Copies of this chain bind each other. A is one copy, B any other.
Amino acid sequence: MTHEIDDIEAQLRAKGVQVTRQRLAIVNVLRLAGDHPTADEILSRAKLEDESISQATVYRTLAALEKVGAVLKNDFDGAGARFELADRAHHDHLIDLDTGEVIEFHSELIESLQAQIAAELGYEIEWHRLELYARKRPGG
């Protein structure tokens, strides 16, 4: 437990991010999140760990972490942005239109096709976003 937090600290420092009590709380929220919380949800959850944390800090921290590639910002429902830690391998998202559940998946084949298409257009992909909005199949 304490070990994990040490790891987080080390990883943040390695990315040139100054480590603070608030930032640890926020990263920890993302670590433990099974979902993709909004800034507001992150704030509430972080407050459980550190009452004094403010909304501004949540936004500023998320922006800072996104800049160094430690956090990914998504916008599934058009409402508020949703965040996740960028600590695992790259993946795309399938959003269940009925439940809002977000399922992660990865296809190396699709990735390479994307690169190929970009190349044909004379481009090199910096990053991409693939979201499938879907419903459970009747006989699923």
Q: Which residues of A contact B (CB under 8 A)?
A: 73, 75, 78, 81, 94, 96-97, 103, 105, 107, 109-110, 113-114, 117-119, 121-137, 140
Contacts and interface: CB of A to CB of B under 8 A. Distances in A.
Nearest to A109: B113
A123 B107 contact: no
A30 to B, nearest CB: 18
Contacts of A136: 122-124
Contacts of A140: 122-124
B113 A124 contact: no
Contacts of A97: 126
A82 to B, nearest CB: 12
Contact of A137 (B113, B114, B119, B134): B119
Contact of A114 (B119, B126, B128, B132): B132
A126 B94 CA distance: 11
A101 to B, nearest CB: 10
| 4 shortest interchain CB distances as A-B pairs | A122-B140, A123-B134, A125-B134, A129-B131
Nearest to A129: B131
Contacts of A81: 78
A94 B123 contact: yes
A11 B107 CA distance: 38
A129 B130 contact: yes
A89 B132 CA distance: 18
